[in-house]
């Protein structure tokens, strides 16, 4: 994995840029990174074989990008601007964008604020929870700040703390990220999206919320149910990848 860096309004952001063809930008989820979300799960190779130029970003506070500890430096709209600046940095006028979980929220703000840049979008791992919310962030933040995993009793907090440790994340940066202001995405904003949007959620996902309800809020929205997968395991599911590849192919 050949990692590059660029300056996004004073923040050092890491990314990869591989393959040739129509561009696809990948935006990972909370506590993840390019390698964990997209490389090790086979996404990058599959999309390259399908004829795409694959760009993936390490969100600020994650992976090899700069670690910031101030709440004001985070939030999906701010992180969406990093993605926008990356496309501008690479001279890419329009791209398909695939986001997972937090990455789906970032993708949504990118599509809402810069619709001319997004030809198609995939909201993975986030259904109607994008609009209604997915629960309080504090248990996860407290789990990240705990002395050790053994000190965490909250199930969801334990899961994210364990995952953050597996990805070698900066726990303080992640705590700031999860606590940052959550700007609401409303049905009215989604109703204004002009591009086709695929909402892909695992049938055993207890975080994301119903994908059909979210898809119905968009003029060109549709849902895909990733059978038998929870929030973590849905990422690398074969049917998930196949559905996205087919969806992207419709744009050619």
**Does 171 fall in a domain?**
no
**Does 124 fall in a domain?**
yes
pLDDT digits (tens, 9 = 90+) for 172-187: 999 999 999 889 999 9
With beta carbons less than 8 A apart as the criterion, state whether 206 and 129 touch.
no
Average pLDDT over residues 225-230: 98
Structural domain of residue 234, as residue ranges? 4-133+184-249
pLDDT digits (tens, 9 = 90+) for 66-89: 999 999 999 999 999 999 999 999
- Give the span between the Cα atoms of 121 and 247, in whole angstroms: 9
pLDDT digits (tens, 9 = 90+) for 231-248: 999 999 999 999 999 999
- Give the span between the Cα atoms of 175 and 166, in whole angstroms: 16
pLDDT digits (tens, 9 = 90+) for 155-178: 989 999 999 999 999 999 999 999
pLDDT digits (tens, 9 = 90+) for 1-56: 899 999 999 999 999 999 999 999 999 999 999 999 999 999 999 999 999 999 99
Coil, strand or helix: which one is 85? helix
For position 60, which CATH number holds? 3.40.50.1820
Residue 193 has pLDDT above 80, yes or no: yes
Q: For 107, phi and psi rounded to 5 degrees?
A: -60, -40
Q: How many domains would you assign to the chain?
A: 1
Provide the pLDDT for residue 115: 98
**Does 140 fall in a domain?**
no
pLDDT digits (tens, 9 = 90+) for 137-159: 999 999 999 999 999 999 989 99
* Reported confidence tier of residue 252, pLDDT bands at 50, 70, 90: confident
Provide the pLDDT for residue 136: 87
For the purposes of burial, counting CB atoms within 10 Å of the CB of 63, is it exposed (0-12), middle (13-18) or buried (19 or more)?
buried
Taking alpha carbons only, the member of 27, 118, 128 closest to residue 76 is: 27
Provide the pLDDT for residue 1: 86
With beta carbons less than 8 A apart as the criterion, state whether 70 and 92 touch.
no
pTM metric for this prediction? 0.97
Q: Distance from CA of residue 10 to its chain's centroid?
A: 22
Residue 126 has pLDDT above 90, yes or no: yes
Which residues 6+ apart lie within 8 Å of 14 measured at CB?
3, 4, 5, 34, 57, 58, 63, 64, 65
**Does 30 fall in a domain?**
yes
């Amino acid at each position: 994995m050949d990692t590059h860096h660029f300056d996004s309004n004073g923040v050092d952001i890491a990314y990869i840029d591989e393959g040739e063809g129509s561009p696809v930008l990948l935006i990972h989820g909370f506590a993840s990174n390019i390698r964990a979300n997209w490389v090790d799960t086979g996404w990058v190779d599959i999309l390259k074989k399908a004829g795409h130029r694959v760009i993936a970003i390490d969100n600020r506070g994650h992976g090899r990008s700069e670690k910031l500890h101030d709440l004001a430096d985070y939030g999906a709209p701010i992180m969406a601007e990093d993605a926008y600046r990356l496309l501008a940095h690479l001279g890419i006028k329009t791209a398909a964008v695939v986001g997972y979980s937090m990455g789906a929220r970032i993708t949504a703000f990118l599509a809402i604020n810069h619709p001319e840049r997004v030809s198609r979008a995939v909201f993975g791992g986030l259904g109607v929870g994008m609009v209604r919310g997915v629960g309080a962030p504090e248990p996860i933040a407290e789990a990240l700040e705990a002395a050790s995993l053994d000190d965490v009793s909250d199930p969801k907090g334990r899961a994210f703390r364990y995952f953050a440790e597996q990805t070698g994340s900066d726990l303080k940066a992640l705590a700031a990220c999860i606590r940052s202001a959550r700007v609401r995405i409303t049905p009215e904003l989604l109703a204004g999206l002009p591009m086709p949007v695929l909402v892909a959620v695992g049938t055993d996902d207890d975080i994301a919320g119903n994908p059909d309800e979210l898809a119905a809020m968009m003029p060109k929205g549709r849902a895909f149910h990733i059978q038998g997968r929870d929030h973590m395991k849905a990422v690398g599911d074969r049917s998930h990848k196949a559905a996205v590849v087919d969806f992207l192919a419709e744009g050619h």
